[in-house]
Amino acid sequence: MSAPATTTEPAEAAPAARRTPSTLWIGRGVAAVAALLLLIFPILSDDIYYQNMIILSLVFAIGASGLNIITGFAGYVSLGQGAFIGLGGYTIGVLAGRFESVSPWWWLPVAGLVAALVALLLGLVSLRSSGPAFVIITVAFLFLVQVIAVNWVSVTGGTAGLSLPLPSWDRDIINWPFYYVLVAVLAMQLLMTWWIRRTKLGMGLIAIREDETKAATIGINLPVEKIIAFVASAVFVGMAGAAYGYYLTFIDPRGMFSILLSVQIVLSLLIGGKATLWGPVLGAFLIELMNEYANNNLGGGNTRLFLFGGLLVLVVIFLPKGLLPSLEALLSRRRTSGKAGLVGARIGSGGSLASLTDRVQLVDRSEIPDRALLEVRDLRKSFGGVRAVDGATFTVPEGSITGLIGPNGSGKTTLFNLIDDTIRADSGEILLGGKRIETLPSWKRAHQGLGRTFQITRLFGEMTVLENVVAAQRSFSLGQLGKIAVSGAEARAAEELLEYVGMRAFRDQRAHALSYGQQKLVELAQILMLDPQLILLDEPAGGINPVLIERMGEMIEELNSYGKTFLIVEHNMQFVLNLCDPVHVLARGRAIASGTPDQIRNDPAVIDAYLGDDFVLEDKAASS
């Protein structure tokens, strides 16, 4: 067992993406003071006006922090978040009216459950739509629940609304229970957000936001993770809605399902900063200040819709990241200005596979069965009139490094897309280890042992290098999703793989800051996290320097010596012919030749369709 070769020491790094301990502690200090002030405010001041303002801020903060999970993390923008406040309000309103002897507080968890169930339905919709279409659906959803509340008069009271029981406690502390219940719900919401961000689930959601198709190829179970995110984004919001409804003592459909409430919640999130823990809370308090200003000085009512709608547009254009991330970026710029950081740092010389502890299964080559690991049978895919893959049939023997070559546009990348379900085939069969996989979604194919890199790398740009690797999910279980990803065993395995590809020193850099060659290495580490049986590499030597091409070749050979099977698309003929056996040649979407590198070199059909006479002359010159 050889020791890992040394890499660029992490100590040299000036990680831009990671917060320094001082910034972290300043942030924690500010949050602790704010939380303390929030807790003692009703004791310090009995001013009902300010208590009311804080209560509304807390409702916005819970709504925005819930929204953060689907919008900030998973990238699904919803303008219907206010509906969950309304649903919570109506749950308590209806139940408190029916069961007068029961304290209304008991209906809070029920309100959370109702919101969660409705969110589950919205989550199901998200499986079929995304982007602007999804935003429109969420607005329609908001109006739909409002229409139901208006028309289901026997339950909701229709436009006449519902009255709730008046608080039974001392008038001196009339707001306290509402205030502290909302503080407690906010604390639970924030705790859940903090926990999700640290888990495999959180990594999966951010990966979905960054590139949903790619996320599926690294084993992220899109349907389940999205639905969990939707439910998590609504459950505490429903509870907050119930507390808010009880606090108002009267609810009606116009107030509880107003689009203004949803706009204010979205704005709170966008102004404070998506995908941050405290951004939505900061944003909520700022929005409530503006709310009060608009009510007192601008006439309230529709003026507020005009004000907040306009503000929404301005924030999207001029403050797309929100306050907290912008502040963090500013501090990071000041901290790193004039320092070289990792720019130009050498890629590490890499470690040894044998030093990896538990992630990659090392196989004795003599135990590899003599069979085809991948079989592609009569696969077809057309784009309009273009038959990109037209009856491709070939096999990849287990334990081989198989090459797939062919002219530009011959269908190689499309074939990869069909094999990993980035695109669904029109017809044909794909077998992995003897099992049909052509009807499985991408993430299930990844769990069956398929890993794939892309011709133009597709890392998750806003995630750090380490997060990119740790996001990959080898299998699926709810227990797996709850695993902490940013530290512990998962992070250790990812670091080992980064060490192996020579990129450990870059672990805290955001992926978009890496060079193309560095991204290729991280993408390789990312799919190794899946411990795949079959690795599809799309142009691994394309666009990188000769030293890295050599290192890439060495890693492929070493991984292969430990039992990994490869299918490689590559235009660098020397790279393919030195490394691969067998080699398949694709032309016009079908395999026209297969054989050893020597057979391919000398096949007249291949020379005619792809290699050309120049290649034959150059190849002869190189070998003489």
Ligand X SMILES: Nc1ncnc2c1ncn2[C@@H]1O[C@H](COP(=O)(O)OP(=O)(O)OP(=O)(O)O)[C@@H](O)[C@H]1O
Which residues lie near ligand X (CB under 6 A)?
383, 386, 388, 406, 408-414, 455
Of 300 and 409, which CB lies nearer to ligand X in the complex structure?
409
What is the closest distance, in whole angstroms, from the C-beta atom of residue 582 to ligand X in the complex? 18
Of 276 and 414, which CB lies nearer to ligand X in the complex structure?
414
Of 18 and 588, which CB lies nearer to ligand X in the complex structure?
588
The H-assigned helical ranges of 76-106 are: 82-98
Q: For residue 80, what is the DSSP state?
A: -
Read off the tokens for 11. 């100590």
What is the closest distance, in whole angstroms, from the C-beta atom of residue 246 to ligand X in the complex? 53
How far apart, in whole angstroms, are the C-alpha atoms of residue 269 and residue 275? 9
Of 333 and 424, which CB lies nearer to ligand X in the complex structure?
424
How far apart, in whole angstroms, are the C-alpha atoms of residue 466 and residue 469? 5
Q: In what order do the strands lie in the sheet with 372-383?
A: 386-397, 372-383, 427-432, 435-436
First to last CA, the chain: 38
Q: At what angle do helices 21-44 and 323-336 cross, to 10 degrees?
A: 140
Per DSSP bridges, beta strands 250-251 and 372-383 are unpaired
What is the closest distance, in whole angstroms, from the C-beta atom of residue 90 to ligand X in the complex? 46
Residue for token pair 């008069």: 153
Of 47 and 608, which CB lies nearer to ligand X in the complex structure?
608
How far apart, in whole angstroms, are the C-alpha atoms of residue 113 and residue 290? 32
Amino acid found at 362: L
Q: How far from chain centre, in Å, is Cα 614?
A: 46
Beta-carbon contacts of 535 under 8 Å, excluding residues fewer than 6 positions away, are 451, 452, 453, 527, 559, 564, 565, 566, 567
How far apart, in whole angstroms, are the C-alpha atoms of residue 394 and residue 380? 13
Beta-carbon contacts of 395 under 8 Å, excluding residues fewer than 6 positions away, are 372, 374, 375, 376
Of 52 and 213, which CB lies nearer to ligand X in the complex structure?
213
How far apart, in whole angstroms, are the C-alpha atoms of residue 286 and residue 601? 69
- Residue pair 85/261 in contact (Cβ under 8 Å)? The answer is yes
Amino acid found at 396: V
How far apart, in whole angstroms, are the C-alpha atoms of residue 449 and residue 27? 42
What is the closest distance, in whole angstroms, from the C-beta atom of residue 609 to ligand X in the complex? 12
Of 85 and 567, which CB lies nearer to ligand X in the complex structure?
567
The H-assigned helical ranges of 483-562 are: 488-501, 516-528, 546-561
What is the closest distance, in whole angstroms, from the C-beta atom of residue 428 to ligand X in the complex? 15
Of 388 and 466, which CB lies nearer to ligand X in the complex structure?
388
What is the closest distance, in whole angstroms, from the C-beta atom of residue 618 to ligand X in the complex? 19
How far apart, in whole angstroms, are the C-alpha atoms of residue 234 and residue 359? 36
Q: How far from chain centre, in Å, is Cα 39?
A: 34
- Residue pair 555/562 in contact (Cβ under 8 Å)? The answer is no
Give the number of other CB atoms < 10 A from CB of residue 124.
13
Check whether the bond before 280 is cis (ω within 30° of 0).
no
Read off the tokens for 225. 């993770």
Of 426 and 598, which CB lies nearer to ligand X in the complex structure?
426
What is the closest distance, in whole angstroms, from the C-beta atom of residue 569 to ligand X in the complex? 7
What is the closest distance, in whole angstroms, from the C-beta atom of residue 388 to ligand X in the complex? 3
Of 165 and 407, which CB lies nearer to ligand X in the complex structure?
407
Of 381 and 551, which CB lies nearer to ligand X in the complex structure?
381
What is the closest distance, in whole angstroms, from the C-beta atom of residue 70 to ligand X in the complex? 28
Give the number of other CB atoms < 10 A from CB of residue 559.
21
How far apart, in whole angstroms, are the C-alpha atoms of residue 569 and residue 484? 35
* Total residues belonging to the chain: 624
What is the closest distance, in whole angstroms, from the C-beta atom of residue 256 to ligand X in the complex? 45
What is the closest distance, in whole angstroms, from the C-beta atom of residue 416 to ligand X in the complex? 8
What is the closest distance, in whole angstroms, from the C-beta atom of residue 353 to ligand X in the complex? 29
What is the closest distance, in whole angstroms, from the C-beta atom of residue 622 to ligand X in the complex? 22
| Closest C-alpha among 86, 78, 84 to residue 139 | 78
Instruction: Count, in order, helices (H) and strands (E) of the chain.
Output: 26, 12
What is the closest distance, in whole angstroms, from the C-beta atom of residue 414 to ligand X in the complex? 3
What is the closest distance, in whole angstroms, from the C-beta atom of residue 550 to ligand X in the complex? 22
| Closest C-alpha among 209, 207, 211, 214 to residue 538 | 214
What is the closest distance, in whole angstroms, from the C-beta atom of residue 380 to ligand X in the complex? 12
Of 438 and 499, which CB lies nearer to ligand X in the complex structure?
438
Residue for token pair 């960054």: 210
